[in-house]
Homo-oligomer: A and B are copies of this chain.
Amino acid sequence: MAAVGAQSADRGRQRVTTVSDDRPIADPGAEKPGEKLSLGVAARLSRYLQVLTQARKMGKATISSQELADYTHVNSTQIRRDLSGFGKFGKRGVGYNVDSLVSQIRKILRTSGQHNIALFGAGHLGTAIATSDIFADHGFRVVAVFDSDQHKVGTEIGQLEVQPTSDLRHVIDEEDIVVAVLAVPASAAQELADEIADAGVKIIFNYSDALIRVPPEVTVHTSSPAVDLLYALYFYLT
């Protein structure tokens, strides 16, 4: 798993271990819609979703747990087990319908809706992000691009006009933005993160290599492709 920087968000998720709990004992294997997923299950479901989305884009109608296993490197038994906890989504002898599995998993992850994101930094990386559809494919819409460079403010990226960073508070409020993507130099990251967190954003996706401190209610996910590579390399070298 790409060390997804989201071991995070583990707070308040203590599992009930004592019997003194007053709720009925959960039917094992049948996940309750109200129950929180474990970190591992949520991570794997996300991963299935990634491959399914790609597969759908390429016109694939059905996919077997074995194919999914080939692409995700998750054991096929575990995939079937993960899915069967939420319903019987597959057809024996055939596999899973790609379209319907995508929407099932989205429902489980409660991310069926659209989410607005704000992008900070209109350099090469910011431009690449704003003009690609990697976010759009998963229900995220870049609704604002900010840059602190006066020369970039007012220029267009994709279909968006670059706005001055000083306007962030207003825009975040107006557009109901929960996610911010940071494509800025490391030197600017912490100060910007402070402002963004203060403006009410809950998830910061950090592409800089700065260590960012945020209040406990905010989650930072730092992208680090080089570390993912190190991890992959380890298994190649050994």
Contact = CB atoms under 8 A, between A and B. Distances in A.
Given A46-B230, A221-B229, A236 B9 contact: yes
A213 to B, nearest CB: 8
B227 A50 contact: yes
Q: Is the interface of A mostly helix, strand, loop or mixed?
A: mixed
Contacts of A232: 2, 4-6, 8-9, 203, 205, 219, 221
B6 A231 contact: yes
Contact of A3 (B8, B72, B128, B219): B72
A176 to B, nearest CB: 14
B124 A51 contact: no
Nearest to A133: B209
A47 B75 CA distance: 23
Interface in A186-229: 186, 202-203, 205, 209-211, 219, 221-229
A138 interface: yes
A61 interface: no
The CB with the most chain B CB atoms within 10 A, among A36, A128, A179, A229, is that of A229
A156 interface: no
Interface of A: 1-10, 13, 36-37, 40, 42-44, 46-47, 49-51, 53-55, 57-58, 71-75, 109-111, 115, 117, 123-125, 127-128, 131-135, 137-140, 178-179, 181, 186, 202-203, 205, 209-211, 219, 221-238
Contacts of A8: 73, 232, 235
B179 A229 contact: yes
Q: Give the 5 A-B residue pairs with the shortest CB-CB distance, closest first.
A: A1-B1, A9-B235, A2-B2, A7-B73, A124-B128
A3 B179 contact: no
Number of copies of this kind of chain in the complex: 2
Nearest to A49: B227
Contact of A231 (B46, B55, B117): B46
Contacts of A57: 186, 209
B234 A202 contact: no
Contacts of A222: 50, 54
Contact of A205 (B5, B124, B229): B229
A203 B229 contact: yes
